[in-house]
Amino acid sequence: MNLNVTNINTETLETVAADAIKALENSKRMDAKRWQSAIRKGAAELLSNPFWNFDGTELVIMSETSNAIYTPNGVCQCKAYAQNQPCRHRSMHRLLTRYTQTA
Ligand SMILES: [Zn+2]
């Protein structure tokens, strides 16, 4: 399934994001709150940023505000990832993977 801003279902995405945020509430991970925040930002960006494509495996995101291109497929190219922090790009990849398993 190829997904992009033209065919993603908002309701399904929001359900997937809400489930992921809820699952982290019971998590003992130290970074659970940061991941929850990353998921919120990632879900919002999937609906607002038109420059991304998910081919069912790999996600490519072009930043709306810079020329940066992110391919957050396990690793990421952003500052947060370099500092070992959760990032919204990887949450976007995870959300889309979950989305394709749900839809
Ligand atoms: Zn990132």
How far is the centre of ligand 1, averaged over its atoms, from the C-alpha of 7 (Å)?
23
Write down the pLDDT at residue 1.
83
How many angstroms does the Cα of residue 53 sit away from the middle of ligand 1? 15
- 58 closest CA partner among 98, 97, 6: 97
In this prediction the pTM is 0.94
Q: How far is the CA of 60 from the centre of ligand 1 (A)?
A: 11
Angstrom CA distances, 35 to 4, 30, 94, stand at 23, 10, 11
Strands (E), the chain: 3-4, 52-54, 59-62, 69-70
- Ligand 1 centroid to 102 CA: how many Å? 24
Give 3's strand partners: 54
**Cα 91 to averaged position of ligand 1 atoms, centre (Å):** 8
Ligand 1 centroid from CA 96, angstroms:
15
pLDDT, tens digit (0-9, with 9 covering 90-100), for 62-95: 998 888 999 999 899 999 999 999 999 999 999 9
